[in-house]
Structure 1
């Protein structure tokens, strides 16, 4: 489209495609003469915009106090999205002594929490936003109380035998098996 406004001439291409690339020449003529200039137009293919989508979602996780937890997902978007982590609908406060965020060029996102506590329990949400849109992914983390395992106890007699056999100054006791008495077996209706 050619436009002339207040003596200013313009050549407008409304929707540029790669076919418009090339060298353009502008020629101005009047009775006094002519002038010209050339311009090169390069058209770069526009990156296709894709809203964020989670191709691998975070999984609900159960852990015990003191464990290390890894909340992991993978997001696909173009251009790469901005990421926002939340815990129970509030922005996640990263404790640098226990928490780390990792990401790689493939879109994999990871929140690593060392030495989890009961207060780490809750809903974790990752929001991904770019010019094309927004998407969220969430998972539940439940942290249980760690209890010390109960000691297995043996019957008192075997404890005593183990204790006695572990003492070097006490002679080891040997238990002889009772004499085997074999008698013929008979079938009986009585019991």
Structure 2
């Protein structure tokens, strides 16, 4: 689905909302894959203007110049500089995600991560023929105190002193900075959770309290808010609805992992912002011993495992890692089940089986006791029933065939009349 202009405006607005450094880097890392699509929707022309400005200053000497691209992002400025004849680029940025996308373009001979304004530039004095910074020199992004560092690593020009060069460079940067901020002036009403106006994940741990505060931005009147936990409405007190609304998730539990909380404008359901809980917890292993098995039968051991992030799972038998190359062993794994199936179990398969979950800094295990006994001979139930039926029918037929004789045995002898005279 194509991104809309309003969505891009919200993301660009988020860049300039003064979040702390860790949040900003996380935001840029997440934005890197969609950054170029978003700026194309904005018809962002600052990289082209910068390239034209620098090409005009260098004239025919572009191919030998070494250019430092500060806050290089995904490499849009280097693309435009290459189009006007520049060939040698070094890049700096604070976001590893942005640098990775820039690296894939193959334009830069050197790329480094640098927290601009907090660290010195990782270059010696007078190293670069030109230094460019496009669309990033602003409050909440790259601070103005980086300018002396930009001048330090730039070679002095042959025809202008350092102050003239600084003035020209800052004038060009100010013009480009104004062009990138233009979309913000027409950004509409929006919501922010904990001062961040984009959907995101929030990491926490079981047992902690997680406060969530939703606020309305760019509003001209009081606005009513409500919260959703997944698809269900959260009950709020009357004084906790207008323009600003707060929740506290306490205590956070393992079951809260993946649950989303959404703050929504009452009069317009399309205006909303969400956070999804990323509850970090070590492995929780459960399961029961399998019933005693017979030789040649199949055995299943179910190890129920939950962890976030997911743990590395293995099986061990009698303290030795189980070699699964044997075709008799099968592994089935889901997000919450690690199952071992043994086909055609043998008495030698009896023993203690450990389900191991390796997690950063710790290993959890759950033990299962398996007993494989002799194969029992099954009772011939069908044969016994068949024989009983035959015997019964034989007796029945014998009785029927000899019924006359049998009946005579039960008849009384007839009495003859008496001839005795009185």
Q: Does 1:11 align with 2:118?
A: yes
Q: 1:57, 1:149 → 2: CA distance?
A: 30
> What are the equivalent positions in structure 2 for 1:162-181 lying under 5 Å apart?
162=391, 165=394, 172-174=397-399, 176=403
Q: Is this contact kept in 1: 2:117–2:143, CA < 8 A?
A: no
Select the structure that is richer in helix: 2
In structure 1, the gaps of 5 or more residues are: 1-8, 13-21, 166-171, 182-191
Q: Is this contact kept in 2: 1:49–1:132, CA < 8 A?
A: no
Q: Which residue of 2 aligns with 1:63?
A: 293
When residues 77 and 113 of structure 1 are mapped into structure 2, their CA distance, relative to the original with a 3 A threshold, is: same
CA RMSD of aligned residues (A): 4.0
Q: Is this contact kept in 1: 2:313–2:338, CA < 8 A?
A: no
> How big is the shift at 1:95?
5.0
> What are the equivalent positions in structure 2 for 1:131-146 lying under 5 Å apart?
131-146=360-375
Q: Which residue of 2 aligns with 1:93?
A: 323
TM-score by length of 1: 0.61
Q: Is this contact kept in 1: 2:354–2:366, CA < 8 A?
A: yes
Aligned match for 1:81, one of 282, 289, 311 = 311
Q: Which residue of 1 aligns with 2:13?
A: none
Q: 2:362, 2:371 → 1: CA distance?
A: 31
Which structure 1 residue ranges, 4+ long, deviate > 4 Å from structure 2?
34-38, 42-48, 150-154, 175-181
- Matched length: 151
TM-score by length of 2: 0.30
Q: 1:173, 1:23 → 2: CA distance?
A: 108
Q: Is this contact kept in 1: 2:283–2:311, CA < 8 A?
A: yes
> How big is the shift at 1:64?
1.1
User: For 1:22-41, what per-residue CA distance to the aligned partner results, in whole angstroms no more than 9, with x for missing partners?
Assistant: 53333425871355678xxx
Aligned match for 1:50, one of 252, 260, 281 = 281
Q: Does 1:25 align with 2:132?
A: no
Q: 1:143, 1:122 → 2: CA distance?
A: 9
> How big is the shift at 1:45?
4.6
Greater Cα offset, 90-99 or 24-33: 24-33
Q: Does 1:149 align with 2:378?
A: yes
Q: Which residue of 2 aligns with 1:188?
A: none
> How big is the shift at 1:125?
0.3
Select the structure that is richer in strand: 1
Q: Is this contact kept in 1: 2:117–2:142, CA < 8 A?
A: no
The answer to which structure, 1 or 2, has the higher relative contact order (CA under 8 A, 6+ apart) is 1
Q: Is this contact kept in 2: 1:51–1:132, CA < 8 A?
A: no
When residues 134 and 142 of structure 1 are mapped into structure 2, their CA distance, relative to the original with a 3 A threshold, is: same
Q: Which residue of 2 aligns with 1:186?
A: none
User: For 1:25-81, what per-residue CA distance to the aligned partner results, in whole angstroms no more than 9, with x for missing partners?
Assistant: 33425871355678xxx9975555321111x32424311112211100211111111
In structure 2, the gaps of 5 or more residues are: 1-115, 120-139, 152-161, 178-195, 204-277, 412-422
Q: Classify the secondary structure of the residue corresponding to 1:11.
A: coil
When residues 125 and 26 of structure 1 are mapped into structure 2, their CA distance, relative to the original with a 3 A threshold, is: same
